[in-house]
Structure 1
Amino acid sequence: MRFRLICFVFLISLSTKAQEFSERKIKRMLKKIPAFQQAHVALSVEPLNSLKPKAFYQGENYMTPASNIKLLTFLAAIQNFDSLPALYFNKQDSIMHFKATGYPLLLHPFYPDPKLDFFFNQKYNWCYHPPKSTLNRLGEGWSWDDYHYYYSAENSPFPIYGNTTRVTLVSCKPQLIPKAFEKNMVLDTLSKKLYRKRSQNLYHLNPRILNKKDTLYIPFITSDSLFISLLGDHINRSVEQSKALETPPNWNILFSNQEAMLYQAMLQDSDNGVAESLLTMISQNNFEEMNIEKIIDSLKLKWSKWLPDPIQWVDGSGISRYNMMTPRTLIAVLKKIHSEVGFENIKNFFPKSGSSGTLKNYPVKEVYAKTGTLRHNHNLSGYWISKKGNIYVFSIMANHFTTPISEIRHGITELLTQFQKRLK
């Protein structure tokens, strides 16, 4: 009898050592954080080089990941590309033929690519070949009334200006970039600050509300014909579209040298347009067509051997509320990212707590992680370095709350602080 008791105590001690924070203890911790009282919370914490969680609470439950979906897009990108293809091209006599890869940085307002600028400043006649594409301008499960916000810019085969219009006040007059949209501007003292009609690129601006320090960005409705027109205006040359029966040339590839900037834009700034474009590029690279559903199905099948749970995944950015993932799946994704690029690249690409990107408002130390936020949902998934130099991987997901995001952020900070104190 005594031997059995000793064995039982020994097994309990091993279990406790494996998981430093029991589910009961985590539940008590959550009860002490007011912001989590009416929220759905799930989390998992593991050492980088171990499969045994140190903290696990409802980590098998499906949650809305929001921009944590960008971790999947990032993993797919680093597995598919050493260098990012900016466009396909072929020069024939005086004509430069070109085709889209999905690359998003042509004349981008925040992430310019000088290599593309130089390419299009060459003195050729230009011929655009639209790629095979089934892209929807707005993704599945996107909020229909977000169409006039920068974070919901439309998808297109060849984004230009980030598929957004920039509006500023210069000498008391509104100035638009692209300039072509200035003729579509209506000054309206009864409207919001800036508004675009849902079905057309017609803008209403209230000049009484706009001040000279404002810089506003609003998406425009995309099309191949508009892309050709805007590019032609910029380079001051005619751009033609290839005829449907025209034999496509043998393509050369113009590679970008802006990989770091693009990945930082997606992970640090959480730029949705960049994320959607990267997934489009991966589809084009694999299938010679832009088909989001097809590339997601392919990636899920490829990754199914190591993912602990199936993923509900429909877009590249996480705007969609149709996406669903578990914390333990995000842990597996983060570990796979580490195995692909190493921790030095993670520190370069990911935001750092208290320092950069979307983690500036997190006061915890030595955390490199991706936030994910939609209304009533906030998540944080990434890595931290302990005082002893050990790396831990974590995912904390809070869904369906009504308290302010700042309070949820404070609650996640409290949890991380307690985990960091205990896990050396």
Structure 2
Amino acid sequence: MRLQRLLNFFITALMLFCLDSSAQQALTHTQIEQGIAEDQLHVAAIMNLIKPESSLIALSVWDLADNRSVFQQNSNALMNPASIQKLLTALVSAKQLGQSFQYRTQLLSNQKLDIINGILKNELYVTFSGDPTLKQRHLNALINQLKQAGVHTVNGNIHLIGHHQDQLQAPGWVWDDLGICYAAPISSFIIDKNCVFARLSANGYNKKATLKVMGKRPIYVENEAVFAPYQPSAIPCDLQLIRKDSNHFTLKGCYAGAKSLPLAIAINEPQGYAVNVVKAILKQQKIRLTGKVVVDTTRTISNDNFQPIATHLSEPLPKLIDEMLLKSDNLMAEALLRTSAEDFTQQPLNFKQTTQALVVMLQELDIELEMANIADGSGLSRYNLLSAEHVMAVLKVIATHQDYQYLLNSLPVAGIKGTLKYKRYFNKPPLKHKVMAKTGSMLGVSNLAGQFEASNGKRYLFVLFENGLSPKIQQQQKAPFSAILLQNLMDMPLVHLSN
């Protein structure tokens, strides 16, 4: 027994000697005096051995069973969270909106329907609620109720009701992302995620390609693009999407290869797009409109004063959060945060006001973000700055508060679902099934936050930020740093704390 104690002492001393300065700071003088827990030494030794030299790492690990911190390194450093930001949005949405919340889109009239010989003499109103799941077919079903009532002509205007928003993209969204669907504009008026799909097909090398917009969506794309043969030593061949007014675009440049290329184009004027979609539906339904389709952002609709004709409801909030976290859906995150903040303040908000409301809502859960910088709800903005401890505070509330524990079921699961289903080294043992976490990736950023179940049977919360990651180094890695770290954390020693 004495020999074993001596051996443990020398092992501990060696590990402490090997720790770098930042890891040593994570072990307080009190812990050293009382004896450092074996699991803390385990993580510290791993980090000292495998942490990358070329990127900045922040790590926080929390023992759920014993309610204590196992390890912290750079945990208060402010870094770019990328899509880890969506964990904050999930929590405030759950807090403010509740599990029964559903988005509502309605077709209404200003009085009881007055139909004579198929002619409707009412003014009509479509209320847009910023539903990120609303599709053109849902609007088609609403307007079809007029057809079912025998209406072939509407004598009046159709008013599209929603909030006016000058700012459709958050500060810090990268300019060359704005034409792509993962940076689609946030608005009361969302149809098919404000995204249009198209396909670019070759007509031979260096000849003008053919562009086909899917579903006959009401946008116009002027195509000047060509396909070029692949030449490794040549200057890179790039496509450029130039955004213009009224959802008009120009596609120019070249694409190396011969295979057709799918495109996902974010519209740039949601209000005008909604007007054109409703006009197209009326034409498809063969309903004549004598007036106009107009956007009204000043009117407040109350069902006490208007007659509902048809209603579309979104899925309840847990399903929406599922889609946001599993697919890392940016538009869903921005819509949920905007809706939660406007419900909290009871007024329309811009991006800055929305993120300020997020900070206040999290303060009510004892999560302080005073030193953080929050620019959006999705993590797409380069202006976001969070620490690992900020995110850990959110995870602790989610994991320990009964009202929010269901959010854990919305996290991607290694090898099973979401953005971890096919991720390298996460789709096989020992990580498969054992890690459930939100990913956060963009150029130079590779983050992960959630929980894992170690081989000792205990569950741990963890937040890992990796910023400043070179794309070239990332390509050369045999395995992501996060996978290597978690594989080693799976062997966490079982620690019995004395009372």
TM > 0.5 between the two? yes
Paired letter, 1:240:
V
Which aligned pairs between 1:90-101 and structure 2 lie closer than 5 A?
Answer: 90-92=108-110, 93=113, 94-101=122-129
Render the CA deviation track for 1:269-321: whole Å, top value 9, x for unaligned.
11212211222222333323143322321221232362255331110111111
Aligned residues: 406
Partners in 2 of 1:168 and 1:354 — Cα distance?
A: 31
1:118 to partner: Cα distance: 3.0
1:69 equivalent to 2:106? Answer no
Asked if structure 2 preserves the Cα contact closer than 8 Å seen for 1:102 and 1:159, the reply is yes
Say which one has the larger Rg.
2
Structure 1: 5+ residue runs without aligned partners? 1-8, 109-113
1:23 to partner: Cα distance: 7.8
1:380 to partner: Cα distance: 0.3
| Percent identity of equivalent pairs | 22
Partners in 2 of 1:204 and 1:328 — Cα distance?
A: 44
SS in 1 for 2:374: coil
Partners in 2 of 1:410 and 1:400 — Cα distance?
A: 14
1:351 to partner: Cα distance: 1.0
When normalised by structure 2's length, the TM-score is 0.71
Q: 1:117 and 1:12, CA in 2 relative to 1: closer, same or farther beyond 3 A? A: farther
Paired letter, 1:139:
A
Paired letter, 1:85:
Y
Q: 1:245 and 1:417, CA in 2 relative to 1: closer, same or farther beyond 3 A? A: closer
Which aligned pairs between 1:9-408 and structure 2 lie closer than 5 A?
Answer: 12=32, 14-17=34-37, 20-21=40-41, 25-29=45-49, 32-33=50-51, 36-81=52-97, 82=99, 83-87=101-105, 90-92=108-110, 93=113, 94-107=122-135, 118-123=141-146, 127-168=158-199, 174-177=211-214, 179-181=216-218, 183-189=220-226, 195-200=240-245, 201-204=248-251, 214-236=261-283, 237=287, 240-241=293-294, 248-250=301-303, 254-257=312-315, 259-286=317-344, 287-304=346-363, 306-307=366-367, 309-310=369-370, 311-338=372-399, 339=401, 346-347=408-409, 349-359=410-420, 360-361=422-423, 362-363=425-426, 364-365=431-432, 366-402=434-470, 403-405=472-474, 407=477
Partners in 2 of 1:303 and 1:258 — Cα distance?
A: 22
Alignment RMSD: 3.4
Partners in 2 of 1:208 and 1:326 — Cα distance?
A: 40
Asked if structure 2 preserves the Cα contact closer than 8 Å seen for 1:22 and 1:55, the reply is no
Partners in 2 of 1:210 and 1:228 — Cα distance?
A: 38
Partners in 2 of 1:189 and 1:11 — Cα distance?
A: 65
Show the counterpart of 1:111: none
Render the CA deviation track for 1:237-283: whole Å, top value 9, x for unaligned.
55622667767443778532254443232211112122112222223
Partners in 2 of 1:127 and 1:189 — Cα distance?
A: 41
Partners in 2 of 1:245 and 1:295 — Cα distance?
A: 20
Paired letter, 2:447:
N
Asked if structure 2 preserves the Cα contact closer than 8 Å seen for 1:168 and 1:212, the reply is no
Partners in 2 of 1:248 and 1:10 — Cα distance?
A: 62
1:355 to partner: Cα distance: 2.6
Asked if structure 2 preserves the Cα contact closer than 8 Å seen for 1:19 and 1:54, the reply is yes
Paired letter, 1:278:
L
Partners in 1 of 2:78 and 2:493 — Cα distance?
A: 26
Asked if structure 2 preserves the Cα contact closer than 8 Å seen for 1:195 and 1:205, the reply is yes
